[in-house]
Amino acid sequence: MDEKVSAHGTPQGYTDGCRGKSECRNHRTKLMTCIEAHIRYQGDYAYRTAVNAGTATAAKETYKVAIAGSHTSKPRETESC
């Protein structure tokens, strides 16, 4: 089944058909699964930019750091109302 998937831990892997969390080769590793990459691609601008630029990796921590350093200086998701 893996033959269809060119690269795990990428949105392309999800597109190629890797849509099961436990089926992904990156499951149980420190790397993102294809699903996680797909979801991240939808909502994480920094990651999307990296993917489009061809510089994305499947490492999770890389993007947490990148996001924290780029445009998240103020926590906005706190609901105080």
Per CB under 5 A, residues contacting Zn ion are 8, 13, 18, 24, 34
**Contact residues for 74 (Cβ-Cβ < 8 A; gap 6+):** none
One-letter identity of residue 43: G
For Zn ion, give the closer residue by CB, 14 or 63.
14
* Residue 64 beta carbon to Zn ion: minimum distance, rounded to whole angstroms: 20
For Zn ion, which is the closer residue by CB, 18 or 51? 18
| 26 or 63: CB nearest Zn ion | 26
